[in-house]
Amino acid sequence: MNVEQFKEELARQGYPLTERQVEQFRCYFERLVEWNEKINLTAITEKEEVYLKHFYDSITVAFSHSLSDKAYHLCDVGSGAGFPSIPLKILFPSLKVTIVDSLNKRIKFLELLVEELELEDVSLYHDRAESFGQNAQFRESYDFVTARAVARLNVLAELCLPLVKESGYFLAMKAMRADEEVTEAKKAINLLGGKWIEDTEIHLPETKDERHILVIQKVKKTPKKYPRKPGTPNKQPLH
* CATH of residue 126: 3.40.50.150
Fill in the DSSP letter of residue 207.
T
Mean pLDDT of 171-191: 92
Residue 78: CB partners within 8 Å, gap ≥ 6?
A: 100, 101, 102, 129, 147, 148, 150, 151, 159
- Is 83 labeled as ligand-binding? yes
Residue among 170, 169, 179 at smallest CA distance from 210:
179
- Is 78 labeled as ligand-binding? yes
**Burial of 70 from C-beta contacts in 10 A (0-12 / 13-18 / 19+):** exposed
The answer, yes or no, to whether residue 33 has pLDDT greater than 90, is yes
- Is 130 labeled as ligand-binding? yes
Fill in the DSSP letter of residue 239.
-
Confidence of residue 178 (pLDDT cuts 50, 70, 90): confident
- Look up the pTM and report it: 0.95
Please give the C-alpha separations between residue 215 and each of 16, 88, 144, in angstroms, as whole numbers.
Answer: 25, 17, 10
Cβ atoms of 206 and 2 closer than 8 Å: no
Q: What is the mean pLDDT of the chain?
A: 94
Residue 65: predicted pLDDT: 79
Structural domain containing residue 176? 3-235
Mean pLDDT of 97-126: 96
Which contiguous run of DSSP H or E holds residue 33? helix 19-36
Mean pLDDT of 106-121: 97
Q: What is the pLDDT of residues 54-83, one digit of tens each?
A: 999 999 999 877 787 678 999 999 988 999
Task: Identify how many contiguous H helices and E strands the chain contains and give both numbers.
Answer: 11, 7
Confidence of residue 176 (pLDDT cuts 50, 70, 90): confident
The total number of structural domains that make up the chain: 1
The answer, yes or no, to whether residue 32 has pLDDT greater than 80, is yes
Fill in the DSSP letter of residue 56.
I
* CA R_g for the chain: 17
End-to-end CA distance of the chain: give it in Å, rounded. 40
**Phi then psi for 3, rounded to 5 degrees?**
-60, -40
Residue 79: predicted pLDDT: 87
Mean pLDDT of 187-205: 95
